[in-house]
């Protein structure tokens, strides 16, 4: 689960800051995870397609904190044995259906979906036969509320 705040700097560029939390009881995780993500979204068009749809792509920088993440390789591993796993870059592509409405404090509501992949997973999908390309992909679905 994540919550974020963004701002449309131009008609095509929208940076967003997200804070996410994954508990040990959700999604089969063995650890709780706190994530901070700075997402840079670039729309392909200034105006929506068919009045409501805006396709986009971008890249996010993600910082995760849990008991098994590290930014420097622990001493008991040989040098260059693993990449650090605390910060990741994730390219993504998706689209949003956005409907303008007058809902109190909100000007519009959007439903979005996107496919992304972490840098380390993409690299392993390219380098090894163990990680298949589809295993490196993630799907996100969410709701955006636009303030007046």
Q: Considering its fold, how many domains does the chain have in total?
A: 1
Name the more confident of 32 and 93.
93
As beta bridge partners, residue 61 has 38, 89
As a dihedral over the C-alpha atoms of residue 12, residue 13, residue 14, residue 17, rounded to 10 degrees, the angle is 160
Name the more confident of 132 and 41.
41
Name the more confident of 70 and 32.
32
Cβ-Cβ contacts under 8 Å for 25 (sequence gap 6 or more): none
Token pair 């709780």 in the structure block, residue: 32
Overall average pLDDT of the 9-19 stretch = 95
Spatial distance between the Cα atoms of 120 and 31, rounded to a whole number of angstroms: 20
Overall average pLDDT of the 17-21 stretch = 91
For the segment 62-84, what is each residue's pLDDT rounded down to a tens digit?
Answer: 988 777 666 666 677 666 666 66
By residue range, what is the domain housing residue 74?
Answer: 2-147
For the segment 96-146, what is each residue's pLDDT rounded down to a tens digit?
Answer: 999 999 889 999 999 999 999 988 888 888 888 888 888 889 999 999 999
Spatial distance between the Cα atoms of 60 and 99, rounded to a whole number of angstroms: 25
pTM above 0.75, yes or no: yes
CATH of the domain at 57: 2.40.160
The rounded Cα 18 to chain-centroid distance in angstroms is 8
- Does residue 38 contact residue 17 with C-beta atoms inside 8 Å? yes
pLDDT at residue 30 in the model: 72
């Amino acid at each position: 689960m994540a919550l974020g705040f963004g701002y449309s700097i131009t008609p095509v560029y929208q940076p967003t800051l997200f804070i996410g939390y994954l508990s040990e009881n959700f999604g089969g995780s063995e650890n709780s995870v706190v994530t901070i993500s700075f997402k840079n979204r670039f729309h392909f068009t200034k105006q929506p397609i068919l009045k409501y749809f805006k396709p986009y792509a971008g890249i996010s920088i993600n910082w995760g904190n849990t008991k098994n993440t590290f930014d420097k390789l622990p001493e008991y591993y040989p040098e260059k044995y693993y990449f650090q796993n605390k910060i990741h870059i994730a390219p993504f592509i998706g689209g949003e259906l956005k409907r303008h409405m007058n809902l109190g404090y909100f000007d519009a509501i959007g439903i979005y979906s996107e496919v992304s992949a972490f840098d380390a997973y993409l690299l392993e999908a390219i380098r090894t036969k163990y990680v298949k390309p589809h295993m490196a992909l993630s799907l996100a679905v969410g709701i955006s509320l636009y303030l007046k």
